[in-house]
Structure 1
Amino acid sequence: MKSLVLVNNKGGVGKTTLTLHIAHMMARMGRRVVALDCDPQCNLSTILLGEDELFDIWEQEAQDRTVSDCVELVRRGEGKVREPLLTRVDTNLWLLPGKLELSGFEQTLAEEWARKAEKNNEHALDVTTSLDVLSNLAAQAVNADVVLFDIGPNLGALTRATLLACDAVIVPVAPDLFSLQGLRNIGPALRAWREEWHLVRERHMEARPRADHPPHEFRPIGYIVQQHLARAHRPVSGYATWAAAIPAVFHQEVLQDEAEIPASVDSDPFCLASMRHFSSLVPLAQQARKPLFDLKKADGVGGGQVQAVALARKQFEKLTVDVLSRLDALSP
C-alpha cells in the first residue's frame, strides 16, 4: 500500500478537487483506493457523499464512521485508534469522512509533538502516529492499494501528522504570488519535520510498539499547475510571469536542487500536469456528486461543455497514470 497527500498552505489551488478526481480515476484503473478526509471543513466528504448522507453519519452513535471518531480515544489518552467502518462511494473507492470535531485534535497533536522526545513519551507517540495507524487499518479493511488524504490549506499540527502517514506529496499550485510563497513555506517545513521525526525514530522509539512501523518519507513527487481563469482585469502576461517562476522555486525550495533548473513548467519533469480551469463544470459536478469526466447532458452539460468533459477525462487519465507510476517507483 502507498499513501499520498496533496499539500499547499495556500487555499484555492484545487487541492480537494484534484484529490477527488485522482481517487476516482485510480479506482477506474483498477486500484483499490481509500480516501481519508482529514480536513475539519469536510469538503471532500460533502462532495462525495452529499450533505444529507454526511449528516446521517455524524448523527449515528457509531464511533468508527469518521476520522475524528476513530482517533478520539487516543486524543483523550483512553485507548487505541478504532478500526474504521468505511463508506463505499464507488467501485474500488471508499471514504472515511471528516467531521468538524477533528479541529479539536489539532491542539492535542501540537502539545504531544513537543513531548515526543521525553522519557515517558508513550502518549505522545500514540497521538503523533494515530493517523498513520488509522490509514493502515483503513487500507487493511478493504485491501487497498492506495490511501489518499485530504487536508486543509495550512502547515499546522494536523497537516504534519498526516504527512507522517504518507509516502508521497504532490503540491498543487496556481500561477500567482501566493502559490509561490506557499512553495517557499512547504519546502522548509517538509525537511524540518522529516529530520525531526528521523531523530525521534532513532533515539526515542527503542522498545516502543511503533518502532516496527514502516517509516513514511513524504517525498515530493511533483506539482500540478492549475491554469489561470482569464479575467478582464488580470492580463495573461501576469500569469505567465508567475508560471515561469514555478520550476525554480519548486526545485530550490522543495527539492533543494539547484543543479539544473528547468526553463518552464512544460520542460520540468516534476510538473505532473498543467490542468485547465474547468470553472463552468465544477458546480454541475458538485450538484451531481460525480467527477467532471462523468458529467452528461442529463447533468446540465451543453454546448462547448461536452468537449470540456472529454478534455477533463483525458487530462485526469494522463495525470493519474503518471502519479501511479511515481508511487509505484517509491521504495517500499
Structure 2
Amino acid sequence: MKVISVFNNKGGVGKTTLTYHLAHALAESGKKILMIDADPQCNLTIYSLDQDTVHDIWEAEDEFIDQGFESTKAKVGSIRFSVLNSRTRSLHYLLKPTEEGTGELEYLPPPRQITNNLDIIPGRLTLHLYEEKIASRWTDAYRGEPLAIRTITKIRSLAEQYSKEYNYDYVIVDTSPSLGSLNKVIISTVDGFFVPASPDLFSLYGIRNIGKALTSWKDEFEIIYKLISLEKRHNFPERFVTFLGYTIYNAKKYSGYNNKWDLAHAHLNYAHQIPATIRANIAPDLREHLSDELLSSPIGATLVMHSHNTFPSMAQHYHNPMWKVPGLPNIEPEHLNTLRGASQRYLETKDSYIAFGQDLLSRIDLLGK
C-alpha cells in the first residue's frame, strides 16, 4: 500500500478535479482506492457525495465535534454510539479522540463506498480545529511526548489502519493549497506527492514555496526522529516524502501553434520553466529516483493537460467522473442538448485518465526500488 497526495501551494489548478478522476481511473483499472478528504474546504467530499448524504454524516456527529467526544459518547450510551460508529464518519470525527487526548476508537467506522474499488472518508469544515492542535503540540513532539507524536502521525496511521482492514492498494489524500501545520504533517508522512501546475508564473512560485517548505519540514521531522525513542519511531513512515513529478493541468488548448503541447507561446514558455524550477527548489534527495527525462516530462504528457471546459462542473453536479455523465439515467432536461453534442468527448476522457494513472503508477513503483 502507498499513500499519495496531489499537492500545490497555488489554488485554482484543478487539484480536486484531478484527484477525483485519478481515483476513479485507478479504481476502474482494478486498483482498490481510498480517498481521504483532508481539505477543510471539503471539495473532494462535495465532488463525491450529494448534499443530503453529507448533511446526514455531519449532523449525526455534530455533538461529538461541538460538545466533546468522550462526554457525548457517555451521554448517548453504548448502544447508540455503536450504531453511530458503524456508519461512515468524517475525518475530523476519526481524529477527534486524538484532538482531545483521549482513548482511541475501538473499531473504525466504515468508509463510504463511491463505486466498485473506490471509497472515501469524507471531510468536515471543522478540521481546522485539529490543525490548531498540531500547531500547539508541535514543540512537545521534540520531547517525544506520546500525544504529540500521535497527533502529528495520526492521519498516516488512519491510512494504514484502513488499508489493513479493507486491503487498499493506494490511499489518496486530498489537501488544501496551504503550507500550514495540517499539510506539513500530511505531506511529510505520505509516500509520494505530485504537483498539478498551470503554465503560468504563479505555479512557478508555488513550486518554489513547496520546495522551501519541504526542506524545512524534512529538517524538523529528522530532528524529532533522532530525539525520540526507538519504540516511538514506528509511528513514522520509513522515509520522508518523495516527489513524484508534475503534470500540467487545466491549460487552455491553442491548436495551430507549432508546438507539441498545443499551448500559446507565453504559456509554453512558463511550462518549459517548470523542470528547472523543480531542480532549483526541490531537494535532490526527494527526487533521486527520477531520471532527468522523467523529471523534465509532465506525468501523462498531454493526456490531461488541456482544459475540459464545462466537463468538470457537470461531473461534480452529477457526482460521477466525466466519462460516466452521458450514460447517467438522471440527466436534467437543461443539460441534454449540451451532452448530446459532446458525449463522445466526455467518453474519451476515460482513456486519458486511465493512461495518466498508469504513468503515475510507474513512478510510484520506483519508490520500492
TM-score by length of 2: 0.81
8 Å contact kept, 2:253–2:307 = no
Equivalent residue, structure 2, for 1:113: 138
Offset, 1:45? 0.7
After superposition, give the CA deviation of every residue in 1:147-175 in whole Å (9 maximum; x if it has no partner): 00001111111111212331011111001
Q: Does 1:237 align with 2:245?
A: no
Question: What does the per-residue CA deviation read over 1:213-241, in whole Å, with 9 as the maximum and x for residues that have no partner?
Answer: 5424210111110142379xxx9332222
Q: How does 1:28-107 map to 2 (within 5 A)?
A: 28-61=28-61, 62=84, 65-80=89-104, 83-107=108-132
Inter-CA distance 251–245: structure 2 relative to 1 (3 Å threshold): same
From 208, 213, 218, the counterpart of 2:241: 218
**Identical-pair percentage:** 30
- Which has the larger share of helix? 2
Which residue in 1 is equivalent to 2:280? 252
Q: Structure 1 stretches of 5 or more lacking a match?
A: none
Q: Is the 8 A contact 1:87 1:94 kept in 2?
A: yes
Higher Cα Rg, which structure: 2
Q: In 1, distance between residues paired with 2:109 and 2:299?
A: 35
Matching residue's letter, 2:213: A
Is the Cα–Cα contact under 8 Å of residues 132 and 164 in structure 1 kept in the other structure? no
Code of the residue aligned with 2:58 in structure 1: it is W
Extract structure 1 runs of 4+ deviating beyond 6 A.
257-262
Contact 1:4/1:168 (<8 A) preserved: yes
Aligned residues between the structures: 325
Alpha carbons 2:153, 2:236 under 8 Å: kept: no
- Report how far residue 86 of structure 1 moved: 0.6
Q: Is the 8 A contact 2:157 2:235 kept in 1?
A: no
Q: Is the 8 A contact 1:251 1:261 kept in 2?
A: no
Report the counterpart of residue 8 of structure 1 in structure 2: 8
Aligned position for 1:309 = 346
Whole-Å separation in 1 of the counterparts to 2:111 and 2:48 = 13
Correspondence for 1:269: 297
Q: 1:287 to 1:270 in 2, by over 3 A?
A: closer
1:22-62 deviation line (CA, Å, top 9, x unaligned) = 11111111111100000111110111111111111111243
- Deviations 1:253-284 (Å, cap 9, x if unpaired)? 1244999997xx99923544342211221121
Q: Contact 1:4 / 1:166 at 8 angstroms: preserved in 2?
A: yes
Q: What secondary structure is seen at the aligned counterpart in 2 of 1:295?
A: helix
- SS for the counterpart of 1:3 is strand
Contact 1:6 1:15 in 2 (8 A): yes
Which TM-score applies when normalising by structure 1? 0.89
Q: What's the C-alpha RMSD, in Å, of the aligned pairs?
A: 2.7
Could you tell me how far 1:114 is from its partner in structure 2? 2.4
Distance 1:267 1:197 in 2: 25
Indicate the residue corresponding to 1:205 in structure 2: 229
Q: Distance in 2 between matches of 1:261 and 1:127?
A: 35
| 1:284 corresponds to 2:314 | yes
Report the AA paired with residue 99 of structure 1.
R
Give the Cα–Cα distance (whole angstroms) in 2 for the partners of residues 50 and 87 of structure 1.
12
Assess, with a 3 A threshold, how the Cα gap between structure 1 residues 25 and 78 changes in structure 2: closer, same or farther. Answer: same
Q: 1:261 to 1:325 in 2, by over 3 A?
A: closer
**Which of the residues 147, 150, 154 maps onto 2:171?**
147
